[in-house]
Amino acid sequence: MRSDGLMVPQTRSRLRFHFPWRALLAGFVTIVLVKGFLIYWLTTDGYVARMEDMLAGSKYQELAAHVLTPDPVSTWTAARMADIAGLFGVM
């Protein structure tokens, strides 16, 4: 908009593509929350047993088992979910 109030279209210099950091972060957070929920729901021993079964399966199951292997962040998330569930008397 010019100083006299007239709106003048401006051309963009060029379209720039950036790396999708937000989508990457959202995917990582979603994976951690899903893993945390599964560890909470199945208990740690049950979850590890299922991962061992997946490691003995096909290549796709083996890949999924490596991605879903419990990590410190997921186990911490599961512990916090158990704390929150304890407040409401669930499980």
Q: How far is CA 77 from CA 4, 7, 59, 71, 80, in A?
A: 57, 52, 28, 10, 5
Please count the residues of the chain: 91
Is there a domain that residue 6 lies in? no
pTM for this model (two decimals) = 0.72
Neighbours of 54 (CB within 10 A): 18
Report which residue type is found at 27. Answer: G
Is there a domain that residue 61 lies in? yes
Is there a domain that residue 13 lies in? no
Is there a domain that residue 2 lies in? no
Query: How many domains, in total, are found in the chain?
Result: 1
Is there a domain that residue 58 lies in? yes
Is there a domain that residue 32 lies in? yes
Parent domain of 58: 21-88
Average pLDDT taken over every residue of the chain? 89
pLDDT tens column, 8-44: 888 777 777 889 999 999 999 999 999 999 999 999 8
